[in-house]
């Protein structure tokens, strides 16, 4: 057991009878967690489990099994419920899974798994898959192209992040954290479970359907608000879409618990105007930034250091610098490598430093610093150049559009065009063209001319995994969108602007 992992185990044992995990009426103390994890560790050892797929809903069992795997040095492979069956099958086969914990779906009937005990299934993997030494977790990123990619992490990297987040949360008096995101999401796993446990706080859990989360992007706002009222948490981690719903509900008069002390938001660009709306409501919302390759959180705004429009200051365990082209490079907690790729994939060698000496991780994101605060522009590979030679990061424009009440999703295209075009998904079916036009004008008011959505189209359908226009967790598939809407964009641009919707 590594020193970092052992420190977490000892912390859990030391907190004794403090409440550690709560799910409905069931509360488990830290002493109870220690005992239950030891029991599960013994079960895993008896089964000879080595690479374990964890496919459970949010709840106490998920946390106990995950800790048992971590403390036993076994490889945990969280299986996101929002992945498609094909993506989940890719995870199982590419990681060489020998043990499955959770209900076995019908589509895995031919994978050779047999039930060893209630809820645990095993098989002999078809072939051993090599992983970097020290790997205790393989987290899969739902990339915008191809199959999900496995990121191999050790315990030290994950717990370095957790320690940094834990210290910031303690400074805000956080003692009750409600897990809103799936525990299979690395961000919630590390910042929502490990960090509170290190601090001796209580992790509040509930099945995702009870919280109002369905699939990758489905949300029942009433259930989410009800969960907040019922549990009175001190902290939450939200995606930008969830924050948009929460702010909108509060603006319409829905009561939010006054217990909230820290609402972290990340996973995508957050429009500054949305953060200002949250601030006007008195919501303690703080934007952050991270990536799986760096074991999740890298930067975070806090009450002690906050700048709207930035993703905050670097956490204590990391160092940041910018490449010559403005790419963000991270040194500190980092992945061991991608599953199936040579060690050092994604690494940027700087100053002769090798991977073993802690080289710089290339993020693929562009940004700049303002008084130490990191401002992220967007993905380097997504940046387009207009016909006038202006560089535009579409995520920036899309975030401004999507924070408008009338717009649910937006995709912006402008490569080699004199006018940028936005394809818009309205938030409701009865939204009129006039309402969308007003929303575009409002978003454009906050943007420089070269980055504005000069023309727009109403989307034929929401962007989702079913039609191949977004990933399972909502990231836009830009190449697929361009192929799908290329003809419509060409037709739109062939009509003089003053004749459109005249």
The DSSP code sequence of 308-375 is TTS--EEPTT-EEEE-TTSEEEEESS--SEETTS-TTTTEE--TT--TTTT-EEEEEEEEEEETTEEE
Q: In tens digits, what is the pLDDT along the chain, a chain of 502 residues?
A: 789 999 999 999 999 999 999 999 999 999 999 999 999 999 999 999 999 999 999 999 999 999 999 999 999 999 998 888 888 999 999 999 999 999 999 989 899 999 999 999 999 887 778 999 999 999 998 655 567 899 999 999 999 999 999 999 999 999 999 999 999 999 999 999 999 999 999 999 999 999 998 765 567 889 999 999 999 999 999 988 889 889 999 999 999 999 999 999 998 788 888 999 999 999 999 999 999 999 999 999 999 999 999 999 999 999 999 999 999 999 998 999 999 886 655 555 443 333 333 589 999 999 999 999 999 988 888 889 888 778 888 998 998 999 899 999 999 999 889 899 999 999 999 999 999 999 999 999 988 888 999 999 999 999 988 899 998 767 899 999 999 999 999 999 988 766 555 4
Residue 236, CA atoms < 13 Å, CB-side half-sphere: 26
In whole angstroms, what is the distance from residue 451 CA to residue 400 CA?
A: 11
Q: Give SS3 for 57.
A: coil
CB 459 within 8 A of CB 425: yes
Structure tokens at 358: 């802690």
Token reading at 220: 């029942």
Tokens in use for 71? 């403390």
Q: How far is CA 468 from the centre of its chain?
A: 20
383-499 to CATH, choices 3.30.300.30, 3.40.50.2300, 3.40.50.620, 3.40.50.150: 3.30.300.30
**Are the beta carbons of 295 and 160 closer than 8 angstroms?**
yes
Structure tokens at 435: 């309402």
Distances (CA, A) of 183 to 180, 207, 293, 361, 383: 9, 10, 18, 25, 31
Give 114's strand partners: 122
């Amino acid at each position: 057991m590594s020193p970092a992992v052992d420190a977490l185990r000892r912390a859990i044992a030391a907190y004794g009878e403090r409440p550690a995990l709560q799910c409905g009426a069931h509360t488990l103390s830290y002493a109870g967690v220690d005992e239950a994890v030891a029991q599960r560790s013994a079960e895993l050892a008896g089964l000879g489990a080595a690479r374990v797929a964890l496919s459970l809903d949010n709840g106490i069992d998920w946390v106990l099994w995950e800790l048992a795997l971590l403390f036993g040095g076994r490889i945990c492979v969280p299986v996101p419920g929002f992945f498609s069956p094909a993506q989940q099958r890719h995870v199982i086969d590419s990681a060489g899974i020998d043990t499955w914990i959770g209900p076995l779906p019908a589509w895995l009937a031919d994978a050779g798994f047999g039930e060893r005990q209630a809820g645990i299934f095993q098989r002999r993997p078809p072939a051993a898959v090599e992983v970097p030494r020290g790997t205790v977790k393989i987290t899969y990123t739902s990339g915008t192209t191809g199959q999900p990619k496995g990121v191999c992490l050790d315990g030290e990297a994950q717990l370095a992040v957790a320690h940094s987040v834990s210290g910031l949360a303690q400074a805000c008096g956080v003692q009750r954290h409600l897990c809103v995101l799936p525990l299979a999401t690395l961000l919630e796993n590390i910042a929502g479970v490990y960090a509170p446990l290190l601090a001796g706080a209580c992790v509040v859990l509930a099945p995702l359907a009870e919280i109002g989360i369905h699939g990758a992007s489905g949300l029942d706002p009433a259930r989410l608000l009800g969960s907040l009222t019922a549990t009175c948490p001190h902290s939450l981690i939200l995606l930008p879409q969830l924050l948009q719903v929460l702010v909108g509900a509060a603006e319409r008069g829905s009561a939010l618990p006054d217990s909230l002390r820290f609402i972290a938001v990340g996973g995508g660009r957050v429009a500054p105007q949305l953060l200002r709306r949250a601030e006007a409501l008195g919501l303690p919302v703080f934007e952050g930034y991270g990536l799986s390759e760096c074991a999740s959180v890298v930067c975070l705004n806090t009450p002690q250091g906050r700048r709207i429009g930035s993703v905050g200051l670097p956490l204590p365990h990391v160092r940041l610098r910018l490449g010559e082209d403005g790419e963000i490079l991270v040194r500190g907690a980092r992945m061991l490598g991608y599953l199936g790729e040579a060690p050092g994939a994604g690494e940027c060698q700087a100053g002769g430093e090798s991977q073993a000496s802690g080289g710089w991780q290339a993020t693929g994101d562009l940004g700049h610093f303002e008084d130490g605060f990191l401002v992220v522009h967007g993905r380097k590979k997504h940046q387009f150049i207009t016909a006038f030679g202006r560089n535009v990061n579409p995520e920036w424009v899309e975030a401004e559009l999507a924070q408008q009440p009338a717009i649910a999703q937006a995709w912006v295209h402008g490569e080699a065009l004199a006018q940028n075009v936005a394809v818009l998904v309205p938030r409701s079916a009865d939204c009129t063209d006039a309402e969308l036009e007003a929303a575009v004008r409002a978003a454009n008011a906050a943007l420089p001319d070269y980055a504005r959505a000069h023309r727009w189209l109403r989307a034929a359908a929401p962007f989702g995994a079913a039609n191949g226009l977004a990933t399972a967790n909502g990231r836009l598939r830009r190449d697929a969108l361009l192929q799908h809407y290329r003809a419509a964009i060409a037709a739109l641009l062939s009509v003089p602007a003053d004749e459109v919707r005249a």
